[in-house]
Structure 1
Amino acid sequence: MPTHPAASPAWLSTWMSAGAALSFLLMLSVPSGYSVGGGVLLLGGLAIWWTGRRAASAPGTAGTRHFGEIAPWTVEDRTLCALLLAVFAINTLAVLWHGDSGKYLDQGVRYLLALPILAGLRRVRLRLDWLAAGLALGLFATAGIAAWQTRWVGLVRAEGFVTSAIPFGDMALTMAFWCLMGAALAAIQRRRAWAALLLAGSLAGTYAMIASASRGSLVALPILAILAAIALLRRAHLRPLLAGVAILTTAAAILLAALPGSHIAESRYAAALDEWHAYSQQGDATNNVGSRLEAWKAALISIPERPLLGWGHTQYQDHLRELIETGRIAPFVGTLSNTHNQFIEIWLHQGSLGLIAFLSLLIAGFWYFCRRLRAPDPTVRVLACCGAALPSAFAAFGLTQVILGRNNGVMFFLVSLAVLWAAMRQAERDAETGSA
């Protein structure tokens, strides 16, 4: 991933590039690591806004191009910003309308804070090599944490320093896929050292995912494979890609066969089928699969009663007790902290307005990235593939968990969306202007 000369003050490009690299480096490997890079990017975005505002208000600068702008803002840029704002606004409206605790504003506010990050990243030149290095090194550290937790601490499933093993495995898989795509790009560009580093990072992330024994991660794999095939399959690139696939497949098979955690993952996948049969045939809602399905049933019974802005959290708990007392829902559902489905959770507590805003953000982000999957420039294609993988993978993860209901999940999603979008738009502009 080549680095280009800065088109804005050097310290701003350095600051934002460091913030993006730190996000990937620390995301899963240190406690609250997801906040460090995001905080650096937020401060940098606000500094860029303030500096640009002062420059625009200076005498003789009226009507000039915006400070530090790498590429002109488009309808796509503005739409993403508008949708981020809409998700925040509807979340806030729902919380205030229901009289819920202020803690339910926490994740929604982060969509608002993503705006200066996205705007700031769009107005500096990111150093893509820094992002690649932060991603690979972050996955090495993540794999080390997974090995330490499962082999020395004694945890059955690696969970890093996030809320549980499930989001840990999901985010490790997503980063491993990005690393794999970076390795493919480096191979196409004949940058062998970078290809080897990023391929090793991808394997490290794969190990962390296996050690987490996260079943939901597998749902995203077919989607990621299709996106990679669309972006990479070219006759000219076939030889290095086949070599990389062979290396990765062999190494992954060794990981599955030899490393701790593989047998746990296999047993959990088999158990999921048994749990499904126990629920569907015997009505057992006390296992993982059955409890999720029963929670979805309770939510889908309740949503039509308050379709616009949904139920407040306290209101819903009272309503859920009524459903249990009347025998419509199994009692075990009352012990669950949420519905274990991102879409149903938003629909339940923010109504149709919240669900429409959230789906619009996912679909718009996915579509805008997908439009570049067949771009002539390989850097644009790879970044577009990584970007499209983010909303599609999180949509898949969200089918069985509320992955954006915790700070680590929402910070990972929003920071990655902003970084990948800005990096792709920068690469697209460079390809158009012939920069190298």
Structure 2
Amino acid sequence: MPPTPAAPPAWLSTWMSASAALSFLLMLSVPSGYSVGGGLLLLGGLGVWWTGRQASRSMAPDAAPWTAEDRTLCALLLAVFAINALAVLWHGDSGKYLDQGARYLLAVPILAGLRRVRLRLDWLALGLALGLFATAGVAAWQTQGQVYGRASGFVTSAIPFGDMSLTMGFWSLMGAALAAIRRRWCGAALLLAGSLAGIYAMIASASRGSLVALPILLVLAAVALLRRTHLRPLLAGVAILAAAAAIALSVLPAGHIAESRYGAALDEWHAYSQRGDATNNVGSRLEAWKAALISIPERPLLGWGHAQYDAHLRELIGAGRVAPIVGTLANTHNQFIEIWLHQGSLGLIACLALLIASFWYFCRRLRAPEPAVRVLACCGAALPAAFAAYGLTQVILGRNNGVMFFLVSLAVLWAALRQAERDAAQAAA
């Protein structure tokens, strides 16, 4: 990557800002909405690269210079793609298993393009809030209208729908806190309402995996925001959120599945741990983890091909080493075990390196003097942290919606953070 990129045309900044806002607006509210903004951002990123080739190598006035952090993120994205491709070729797997991995490659021009333009953060905030309102509308239609037992939006499953609704709702909450700190009350009200909509959609999805991420998100918010001068608006916001969560539960249809699912998780764990009952949701997933962990040591470097593992799994079931229900599951229901199983230790290391590096780079700014930097750092750190938590009970990065959400959001939040840092430095100069 060039350390001193040329300034792209102004229309490309508008394009990238609008595309990023559109990503959040459509992410969960329309079929394949997660692909629309990502596709537009890719076109814009390639446009930024092309215009940079044609122009002189002067520093772009509104873009913070490239650093080792930028280069490391791009290198890790490429590493995840390369190891995925190597594993697929080595095992002779179908080309469809390159699908998610190829998106890490395509994320590089998106990240590079976003880093070299001037983003409109107010557009991003508006797209986020409106996207959450639309998401809550879809959730209400699917539950109140009894179309589905659980709200799943248009992302094929209620679980990622709930997880991503919570993540976006948290970002909106953090945006509301920033607006309140700056005494922009209309913006704070809009973003707080968006956060409430995200909470409603998460509850309507009855996703239990989302709850695993909640303590992490709260700790990040506390580190970024807790200042004596901020306590009053923050406490008011917490009270509003608690009331909204209670209201969301009350407006769901009587006997909605969320009530039984939230209460059943512990019972299912006890049934598996004490009686070996693998027929429930928790038990079947734990049994799938057991089968994978039995198999991984046999092929530790690049793992098992999908067809090879299916045959091996049938042998394990036939030998009575794992319960037959494992043969009916589509995957291991754990992001890290799934990668370790099919891409070996190399794939797991690359995935963990990307999550840890991005988390650390954002966390380094959590106590920055400028509130905008702290809030964007918190939103950015929440992304890999939450996806790591979600990945404990599902293969969220093995879905097009999950991987697109993660990669687009990572690129947008990182670029926005670096821009806010540069603005803060210029204001202090």
> Shared fold (TM-score greater than 0.5)?
yes
Distance (whole Å) between structure 1 residues aligned to residue 252 and residue 387 of structure 2 = 27
Find the residue that maps to 1:126 and give its secondary structure: coil
SS at match of 1:302: helix
Question: Do residues 285 (structure 1) and 278 (structure 2) align?
Answer: yes
> Which consecutive unaligned segments of at least 5 residues does structure 2 have?
1-6
TM-score by length of 2: 0.96
Letter in 2 for 1:92: A
1:358 to 328, 331, 351: 351
Q: Does 1:248 align with 2:241?
A: yes
CA distance in 2, matches of 1:337, 1:42: 30
Q: Supply the distance in 2 between the matched residues of 1:272 and 1:244 (Cα, whole angstroms).
A: 29
CA distance in 1, matches of 2:254, 2:288: 29
Distance 1:92 1:69 in 2: 36
Say which is worse superposed, 236-245 or 359-368, in terms of deviation: 236-245
Is 1:330 aligned to residue 323 of structure 2? yes
Report SS of the residue matched to 1:134: helix
C-alpha distance in 1 between matches for 2:110 and 2:207: 30
Residue 261 of structure 1, CA deviation: 7.6
Equivalent of residue 147 in structure 1, options 140, 145, 151 = 140
Which residue in the other structure is 2:3 paired with? Answer: none
1:106 maps onto 2:99 in alignment: yes
Aligned with residue 135 of structure 1, among 103, 113, 128? 128
Does residue 225 (structure 1) correspond to residue 218 (structure 2)? The answer is yes
Give me the whole-angstrom Cα distance separating, in 2, the residues matched to 1:252 and 1:191. 24
Match of 1:414?
407
1:211 shift after superposition: 0.4
Contact kept in structure 2, 1:212 and 1:261, CA below 8 Å = no
Q: Quick one: structure 1 residues 42 and 368, their matched pair in 2 at CA, closer, same or farther if it must change by over 3 Å?
A: same
Q: Which residue does the alignment assign to 2:178?
A: 185
Structure 2 CA distance for aligned equivalents of residues 133 and 338 of structure 1: 37
2:419 maps to a residue whose letter is Q
How far did residue 264 of structure 1 move?
2.3
Structure 1 unaligned blocks of 5 or more: 1-6, 57-63
Aligned-partner Cα distance in 1 for 2:428–2:76: 31
Q: CA deviation at 1:271?
A: 1.3
Separation in structure 1 between the aligned mates of residue 212 and residue 224 of structure 2, nearest angstrom = 20
Q: Tell me the distance in 2 between the aligned counterparts of 1:19 and 1:55.
A: 24
Give the structure 2 partner of residue 429 of structure 1. Answer: 422
CA contact (8 A) 2:13 2:117 kept: yes
Partner of 2:145, secondary structure, is: helix
Residue 197 of structure 2: SS of its match in structure 1? Answer: helix
Structure 1 pair 374/91, CA: closer, same or farther in 2 (3 Å)? same
Structure 2 Cα separation of the partners of residues 389 and 243 of structure 1 = 22
Name the structure 2 match of 1:12: 12
How far off is 1:266 after superposition? Answer: 2.6
In 2, the alpha carbon distance for the partners of 1:98 and 1:248 equals 49
Does 1:171 find its partner at 2:158?
no
Kindly indicate whether the alpha-carbon contact (under 8 Å) linking 1:121 and 1:422 is maintained by their aligned counterparts in 2: yes
Q: Provide the C-alpha distance between the structure 1 equivalents of 2:231 and 2:70, rounded to a whole number of angstroms.
A: 34
Contact preservation (8 Å) 2:206, 2:258: yes
Look up the match of 1:59. none
Q: Percent identity?
A: 84
CA contact (8 A) 2:22 2:127 kept: yes
Once the two structures are TM-superposed, the CA of residue 263 in structure 1 deviates from its matched residue by 4.7
1:53 equivalent to 2:53? Answer yes
Partner of 2:391: 398
Question: How many residue pairs align between the two structures?
Answer: 423
Q: Deviations over 1:161-203 (max 9, x none)?
A: 0020000000000000000000000000000000000000000
Letter in 1 for 2:55: A
Secondary structure of the structure 2 residue equivalent to 1:434: helix
Name the stretch that deviates more: 255-264 or 7-16: 255-264
Q: Distance in 2 between matches of 1:131 and 1:23?
A: 9
Q: Verify the 8 A CA contact 1:69 1:122 in the aligned structure 2.
A: no
Partner of 1:275: 268
1:153 to partner: Cα distance: 4.4
Structure 2 Cα separation of the partners of residues 29 and 393 of structure 1? 21
2:30 is aligned to 30
Question: What SS does structure 1 have at the residue aligned with 2:78?
Answer: helix
Structure 1 residues 74 and 261, CA gap change in structure 2 (3 angstroms):
farther
> What is residue 199 of structure 2 aligned with on the other side?
206
> What does residue 84 of structure 2 align with?
91
> Conserved in 2, the CA contact under 8 Å of 1:95 and 1:105?
yes
Cα deviation, 1:217-246, whole Å, max 9, x if unaligned, reads 000000000000000001111222222222
For residues 95 and 386 of structure 1, the distance between their equivalents in structure 2, rounded to whole angstroms, comes to 33
Q: Which residue of 1 aligns with 2:4?
A: none
- Amino acid in structure 1 at the alignment position of 2:382: A
Q: Are 2:82 and 1:81 aligned?
A: no
Check whether the contact 2:366–2:377 (CA below 8 A) recurs between aligned residues. Answer: yes
Amino acid at match of 1:48: V
Paired residue type of 2:248:
L
Q: Deviations over 1:332-379 (max 9, x none)?
A: 101111000000000000000000000000000000000000000000
Per the TM alignment, residue 69 of structure 1 is displaced from its structure 2 partner at its CA by 6.0
Query: TM-score by structure 1 length?
Result: 0.95
